[in-house]
Amino acid sequence: MDSGIVYAFDIFGTAVFAVTGAVKGVRHRLDFLGVIVFAITVGCGGGMLRDVLLGIHPIAVFSDNAYVLVCIAMGIIVFLISPKAVGRWYVIQYLDAIGLGVFTAIGCVKAAAMGLGAIGVITSGVFGAVGGGVLRDVFSREIPMVFTSDFYASASILGGLLFVVLVRAGVGGDVLMYSIAVFTTALRMLGYHFRWKLPVARMVGEERK
């Protein structure tokens, strides 16, 4: 698999997630620095967690300034255009879906390149995809989306499973990475559109909603 394409894909996913983080900061009425911090946290958080789990040293964010610089640029852009753009949340949901797909694919590719088994590959994809979002929600004092009934982490898990299946079927190269990114993104978008939800835990006496 072309390392240059993998790198470009990683930067693209970082930029997309940085936008969603910056928008979250604007919606919480943070100042300029707060918006930038949210952009960096969400844009880089998942990749950092993924690299730590894979034992990559130094992690990409610390060895390549491009990641943080892209996040800062996205944060500034969102801050400047927020009076005219922020508030159209449906657009951010789709951007978030794209970021989820891209980082799921990247995480799976990096884990597979290191010779990890199916569990390691899927875990790498999921942690890389949802890590930034978890940090975003924690910073916003909200229960992380992945722990609620929203069809988010589930899409990433299924994307990782498809990666394992395709690899065992002999599919490889850039086509494999693109396929997983598109599949996971589409699954997340469908889940958002049709309001797919996983069963929610209930206590004694509670009725199913």
Task: Give the pLDDT confidence score for residue 89 in this predicted structure.
Answer: 59
Q: For the residues 110-124, what does the mean pLDDT come to?
A: 96
pLDDT tens digits, residue range 134-182? 988 888 888 887 887 578 899 999 999 999 999 999 998 889 999 999 9
Tokens coding 145: 């989306």
When pLDDT is averaged across residues 102-122 and rounded to a whole number, the result is: 96
Mean pLDDT of 116-141: 92
pLDDT band at 121 (very low <50, low <70, confident <90, very high): very high
Q: What is the pLDDT averaged over residues 88-111?
A: 88
Q: Does residue 79 sit in helix, strand or coil?
A: helix
CA distance 28 to 140: 8
Question: What is the chain's Cα-based Rg?
Answer: 17
Dump pLDDT digits (tens) for 15-45. 999 999 999 899 899 999 999 999 999 999 9
Give SS3 for 109: helix
Residue 171 is given by DSSP the state -
Domain ranges in the chain are 3-194
Confidence of residue 208 (pLDDT cuts 50, 70, 90): low
